Amino acid sequence: MPRLPWQTTQLTPALRQWLEDYPVGGIILFSDNVVSIAQVQALTTDLQDASSIPLFIATDEEGGSVSRVGRLFDNSDFPILPALEVGRTGDTEIAYQTGRTIGVQLLSLGINMNFAPVADVWTNPANTVIGNRAFGQDPETASLMVESTVRGLYSAGVMSVVKHFPGHGDTYEDSHFLLAVYPHDRERFDQIEAPPFISGIQADTDGVMIGHIATPQLQNPTAPLEWMEPWLEAGNLPATFSDFWLQDILRGEMEFEGLIITDALDMRALTDNFTPAQIAVGTFIAGADILLMPTDVTATFDALIAALNEGIFDEERLHQSLRRIFWAKNGL
């Protein structure tokens, strides 16, 4: 699921050819792709028409500081508050109505997937990358708000994706620039970070986004690929590459059956340390279904094809993700 070229606001012949050469499963839109309601509607319609299989068309519309399309709408009747302010109200109905309002607006634009809500618990005040994007410092409040927001988006017909698993709220680093580190043990994770994600899953969120977060106290004893071993030994293997987090915890203990989506793969937490091929194959081997925003679509595509042909993963692993994706697209 790549982003469109910078400031692309319409389907050009070059973009149409690109989509034919690399039949992606979805597109994420950013503010630079957004000019007006009519323009976004035309863009999403043309993108769908250019694809033989329905596309996930996604964006980050959290309300507050992360808002890609909110400026297009008059929310004077029901102001869209930042998540932290929603959490401070303690009112799950406000969270539900916020999710529903955002969902109605997105669907009217042809956007069917929202990378929201944030399920991180903001326990580190020095963590500015999350800040007021989270519902607060209390896991119980965050859990209630995440659940209600997911239900609100669902009621509007828009897919939700809770983020950033296993938790970005207590890191010091911003994974846009550095590999983030979660320094705590399993007891702390179970008590603080896990509950909002569990609530989102129980509310039938369509996806869980994986953060580029190292968890030195919580990881597998083995690495699926040889190049991962030094990172595992140093305690710095990102959760993005961790079958412990994606398979043992998320799929196993939390019983999540929906889409596992990476955080943006163009973030420096990964690109400063790994090649496009390593990122592509590593995330997929770990268990991701959707690779979001690779820096090089061609290299990513070729690396996955090569890994399949070389037997690094088999067709059944590929089909596992395809079944989840087609199931999610069934209603599009």
Is residue 168 annotated as part of the catalytic site, yes or no?
no
Q: Which one-letter DSSP state was computed for residue 192? A: I
Is residue 263 annotated as part of the catalytic site, yes or no?
yes
Do 146 and 98 form a contact (C-beta atoms < 8 A)? no
List the catalytic residue out of 60, 120, 206, 263: 263
Residue 280 gets the label, from left (phi > 0), alpha (psi -120 to 50) or beta, of alpha
CA angle 1, 146, 81 (to 5 degrees): 90
Q: Which ranges in the chain belong to alpha helices (H)?
A: 13-21, 37-49, 83-89, 92-109, 139-155, 186-188, 194-202, 229-233, 243, 268-271, 276-286, 297-309, 315-329
List the catalytic residue out of 176, 243, 266, 302: 176
Q: How far apart are CA 167 and CA 165, in angstroms?
A: 5
Q: How far apart are CA 158 and CA 21, in angstroms?
A: 28
Three-state DSSP at 117 gives coil
Do 92 and 62 form a contact (C-beta atoms < 8 A)? no
Residues found in the chain: 332
Positions annotated as catalytic residues are 176, 263
